[in-house]
Amino acid sequence: MKKESKNNQVLYIITVILSAFSLITAWIPYVNLIGVLSSLMAVILIISILIKSKGKGWKKYSVSLLISILAIVITVTVQMSVHYVHQITLQKSSAQLKSKAFKIGQSITIETDQYRVNSVSFLNQIANYSPNPGNKIIAISLTIKNTATKDFGTGDADLPYATNMFHIQSGNSDIPLITGKNLPNEIPAQGKIDIKDSITGTLYAEVPANSHPKLVYGRSQNQASTNDRIPSFSVSLT
């Protein structure tokens, strides 16, 4: 009997520690995701204890149970707030970026993402690819850098990218990039960039000769404004 009482006391202390830890971490974004696990463990442990004891001593565990549930609610609220602020920040960033066209050589930073058009060439032919009459091939040297210096508790601070987020804008036309032609130094269609690392390669497109194209990231001219949450910027290529 004494042994059982001692075991119950140990379990009680464990539930108190778990619930207290979850409440403390609930206020810290991303770290609180670990706290949620503590909350769930405490809730499961308390419920199993009460089932085994047929509800005896429920008052003793009620505080820990309420604290664990409160920690879960706080965590959800904090994470939703962080997400909301993040989206607002992206919208403001997008509005600022779209207000002007950047120049060749300028770095464009969006949170931990950094983009830079290094140079631009207009070609009559590249490898075995020739443009249609009246057109030229534009070759854009682009660097994408992951400026993140650490993992913020998310488990993955690598920067994913996809070249289909880029297109060329010439006048009122949106021109897709040339892909799948195995052109020299072509940036892979998609991938991930490690922390503090970067990738440099070339984007290709076919544009009208004597045009003044822009490289656009984020959205095309006819996309709905609901995509404002995706930062968009343009770089003048002439």
We report the CATH number of the domain holding residue 114 as 2.60.40.1240
Number of domains in the chain: 2
Same domain, 122 and 225: yes
> Residue 87: what pLDDT?
67
Q: In this predicted structure, what is the pLDDT of residue 5? A: 62
Question: Dihedral of the CA atoms 92, 98, 103, 108 (nearest 10)?
Answer: 30
Residues forming beta bridges with residue 175, ordered by sequence position: 168
From 77, 93, 109, the end of a domain falls on: 93
One domain, residues 109 and 76: no
Are 193 and 159 in contact, with CB atoms under 8 Å apart?
Answer: yes
Q: How far is CA 18 from the centre of its chain?
A: 30
Cα R_g (the chain), whole angstroms: 27
Which of 66, 93, 120 delimits the end of a domain? 93
- Please state whether the predicted TM-score (pTM) of the whole model is above 0.85: no
80 and 111 co-located in one domain:
no
End-to-end CA distance of the chain: 86
**Based on the number of CB atoms within 10 Å of its own CB, is 129 exposed (0-12), middle (13-18) or buried (19 or more)?**
middle
Instruction: Give the model's pLDDT for residue 226.
Output: 36
- Which pLDDT belongs to residue 187? 92
Closest CA to 92 of 105, 110, 114: 110
Last residue of a domain, one of 67, 93, 119: 93
Q: Given this model, what pLDDT does residue 224 score?
A: 41
Q: Could you list the pLDDT tens digit for every one of the 238 residues in the chain?
A: 455 566 667 777 888 888 888 888 888 887 888 888 888 888 888 888 878 777 776 777 788 888 888 988 998 998 888 877 766 766 666 555 555 678 999 998 887 889 999 999 999 988 888 899 999 999 999 999 998 877 655 546 788 888 988 999 888 888 999 988 888 999 998 898 888 899 999 999 999 988 899 999 876 544 444 344 456 788 999 8
For 56, the domain range is 2-93
Torsion of CA 17, 23, 27, 31, to 10 degrees: 40
Q: How many helices (H) and strands (E) does the chain have?
A: 3, 11
Q: Give me the pLDDT at residue 152, please.
A: 53
